[in-house]
Amino acid sequence: MKILVCIKQVPQKDAPLKLNAAGTWIHEDVSYEVNEPDAYALEEALRQKEKHGGEVVVLTAGPARAQQVLREALAKGADRAIHLEDEKFVQLDSANTARAIHAAIAQESFDLIVTGLQSDDFGAAQTGVLLAEILGIPHATIIIGIEKTDTGLRLKRELEAGHYQHIETTMPALLTIQSGINKLRYATLIGIKQAKMKPVRKVTWADVESKISPNLQQIVRLYVPEKQKRTEMMEGPAPEVARKVVDYLRTAARVI
Amino acid sequence: MADVILVVAEQRSGQLNRASFETIAAAQAIAKETGWPVQVVLPGNQVMPLAAQLAQQSVQSVYALEAPELAAYTSDAYVHALSQFIGEKQPRVVLFPHTYQVRDFGPRLALALDRTLISDATGYKLDAGRLLFTRQMFQGKFTADVAFTGDAPWMATIQIGAFRADTSAAAQAPVERASAAVSQSSARITPHEIFQEAKQAVDLSQAPVIVAVGRGIKEEKNLSLAQDLANVLGGELAASRPICDNGWLPLERQIGSSGQTVAPNLYIALGISGAIQHIVGVKGARTIVAINKDREAPIFEIADVGVVGNLFDVVPALTAEIKKAKAGS
């Protein structure tokens, strides 16, 4: 199976984020990591390759810093990487990101494309689904189990509130992967060494620009959320805070 | 272009979901300011009785968009049927509930119509005649006002719980059957029955007190701290998704969009940052206490009491203090 994994570099979960002066984006001088569901998508691709043979290609779109997540993926066992490298890729809407990816892989044909179900930054949960539409292939979302069959794939799809569904699809197909589908591996020392020798193909903005349309949606303003509730904030030595919380629970909330 | 707000409602196995009513409420709020009437379309097979239920929601009209291929959900059939329907009606706004099903077909539908979809909106704004949708970004750390830069239909999905559903019946609106032509030859996906895993042993939806842990608990062995706190309160232990993904607690104790939705009297969140997917599961809680070392954590947005501190210090102190309080009362 020839598998493409689309991954994204996002700010680290506990990184303190600050707004830019225009209030339209964050200050980008923060620590980054791979988007968590994408890490599970990569792991799943590596496992499928181990079972059925083939190749795992990992792709990201973002500035030079994003190469870090490709290196990590190569160290974990991906065979090669594609980097759509430009600052401008960060601000594309989901449809344009999908178009750019499509343009970058136009010369290849994959049996399976996997990506995380959504990103921790935008959280639009659309790019994968849109890439399937552009490629004209079937897709399935929020997948927590993949089994190759003679005719295609048998998938376990997560639904709300503890419900699940099995579905079957033909290949090629695109799947968006839910966190927790597998246990993530760590890169080995040998893997990290080998990663340095593995090919990374760079794709520039100019290479794909002709396929990109104007964004159809745009962030007008980014801001700290407006409070929905009056929150009583407490801080201080633990015993003192504990007394204050208990006091609140007894007198104000009357729950103990 | 018709000045209409169209809501795409959702049913599964003969039942409407609550999120559809919430989305109608969102449409009605926009309608109040714009004067654009609200219409509803319900895709499925033999869904006229359900369409009649939706018609009691103070809407202008309801369409039952029917075809045998829409009986069991597939994205291909839904995209095909709805792109035709929306293409013909040309509504100004199309709203969907942000369910797993809509996440599956919504983006493809928007692209098939050469439009964009703003996903997981928590509200809207009318800014000099321009319709903006607000949505959370960076895991709830920021809110964004997002504008459409292209032509209508403007499409958006509405976050679960963002609007209050009004399920009280109003005057009956007309219901119309619209048959969808879906070609069967294009079936690339075969759906099977929907199921639940082994019967759930705990029902968190009925628990009066829930102590929930997130990534901040760091190691499995630290769960005992949370369990002790739950014990003195006579409550249940629960968790956000990463904890269950790690296998530290069973999936049935997971709270959030993919797990349980709860409404306890008291919800104590320990080391939970408060990603949207978790918060939608606890919006019904009466009192929320959050303990987190990061004062910017989004969980504090919905908390009644927010403790900024190290949970490994605060939780044992809190357990001891509650023990004392209970002994004294």
Task: Output the tens digit of pLDDT for each of chain A's 256 residues.
Answer: 999 999 999 999 888 899 998 899 999 899 999 999 999 999 999 999 999 999 999 999 999 999 999 999 999 999 999 999 999 999 999 999 999 999 999 999 999 999 999 999 999 999 999 999 999 999 999 999 999 999 999 999 998 877 899 999 999 999 999 998 999 999 999 999 999 999 999 999 999 999 999 999 999 999 998 777 789 999 999 999 999 999 999 888 888 8
The predicted pLDDT at position B13 comes to: 81
B235 appears as a binding residue in the annotation: no
Q: Is B329 exposed, middle or buried (0-12, 13-18, 19+ CB in 10 A)?
A: exposed
Report the alpha-carbon distance of residue A228 to residue B140 in Å, rounded. 13
Is B2-179 CATH 2.40.30.170? Answer: no
Residue A229: the pLDDT is 77
Angstroms from B233 CA to nearest CA on chain A: 8
Q: Is A8 a member of any domain?
A: yes
Chain A hits for B260, Cβ within 8 Å: 161-162
Question: What's CA A233's distance to the chain center, in Å?
Answer: 33
- Please tell me the predicted confidence (pLDDT) of residue B184: 64
Q: Quote the pLDDT of residue A61.
A: 98
Which residue ranges in chain B fall short of pLDDT 50? none
Residue B199's pLDDT is 63
Chain A interface, mutation test: which of B117, B195, B205, B244, most A Cβ atoms within 10 Å? B117
A contacts of B116 (beta carbons < 8 Å): 93, 95, 215-217
Please state, in angstroms and as integers, the Cα–Cα distance from residue A110 to each residue in A39, A94, A173, A175, B189, following that order. 19, 21, 9, 12, 18
A141 domain-assigned: yes
Query: For residue A203, what are the domain limits?
Result: 2-211
CATH assignment of the domain containing A82: 3.40.50.620
ipTM over 0.95: no
Number of domain units in chain A = 1
Q: How far apart are CA B175 and CA B173, in angstroms?
A: 6
pLDDT at B197: 76
Q: Per the domain annotation, does A174 fall within a domain? A: yes
Question: Would you say A86 and A205 are in contact if contact means Cβ atoms under 8 Å apart?
Answer: yes
Residue A244 in domain: no
Same fold flag, B2-179 and B204-328: yes
Q: What's the whole-model pTM score?
A: 0.88
Task: Look at residue B140 in the predicted model and tell me its pLDDT.
Answer: 85
B203 touches chain A (CB under 8 A): no
Q: Where are the domains of chain B?
A: 2-179, 204-328
Q: B204-328 maps to which CATH number? A: 3.40.50.1220
